[in-house]
Chain A
Amino acid sequence: NAGVMQNPRHLVRRRGQEARLRCSPMKGHSHVYWYRQLPEEGLKFMVYLQKENIIDESGMPKERFSAEFPKEGPSILRIQQVVRGDSAAYFCASSPETAANYYGYTFGSGTRLTVV
């Protein structure tokens, strides 16, 4: 039973480019959460999604960031026109319908984004 799969593991983008981060939840999990970890910091909640719905995006910057979780396929975190301050590790967690909160969280290994 594969865990939460995130890809790519490492992503390098030049300033102004777009970054697309993908997260495939665990089998049977229908809730996805994105967190960002800046250097020397703890993880910060960004967005909570269910299939085809954004439930809470209160932690996501208002500009340049967007997230989706389509009916088919992985969840995507998209960062447009990246800046150096976007350099961070981005983690995705998923949980099942029966434990749709942090009690049922499983984290992926993350995507390390470096903006040069």
Chain B
Amino acid sequence: QQQVKQSPQSLIVQKGGISIINCAYENTAFDYFPWYQQFPGKGPALLIAIRPDVSEKKEGRFTISFNKSAKQFSLHIMDSQPGDSATYFCAAGDGYALNFGKGTSLLVT
């Protein structure tokens, strides 16, 4: 069963706009919530991550919002750029293994 559900499956955003990707999880034992960026033919690269004791984390144009009670977290990409076009995966972990969402294909035009 999919432990982390991610939406939307694909997203088209105009240059300069805000990209928002959402994830939901069920397992309350998860204690680490990273977002990975993947370009075609490459491995996932860590973008930004958050722990459940924090509600928001910002790094440059990337922000994670975390809602522990709703068991949801989201990635916001401000001022989206064509170079941000990639597949984004949310994930959640409770030990050493990560559970990934199915990914969101982002296209910035």
Contact = CB atoms under 8 A, between A and B. Distances in A.
Interface of A: 4, 31, 33, 35, 40-45, 48, 55-56, 59, 91, 95, 100-103, 105, 107-110
19 contacts: A40-B102, A41-B103, A42-B6, A42-B100, A43-B44, A45-B97, A45-B98, A48-B96, A48-B97, A55-B96, A59-B97, A91-B43, A100-B96, A101-B96, A102-B32, A107-B44, A109-B41, A109-B42, A109-B43
Interface string B79-98: 00000000001010101111
Contacts of A33: 96-97
A9 to B, nearest CB: 8
A26 B93 CA distance: 22
Nearest 10 pairs between A and B by C-beta?
A42-B100, A107-B43, A45-B97, A101-B96, A43-B100, A109-B43, A102-B93, A42-B102, A102-B98, A107-B44
A116 B32 CA distance: 38
Contact of B89 (A43, A48, A110): A43
Nearest to B41: A109
A41 B91 CA distance: 13
A41 B42 contact: no
**Which range holds the interface residue count of chain B?**
20 to 34
A110 B43 contact: yes
B78 to A, nearest CB: 24
B95 A101 contact: yes
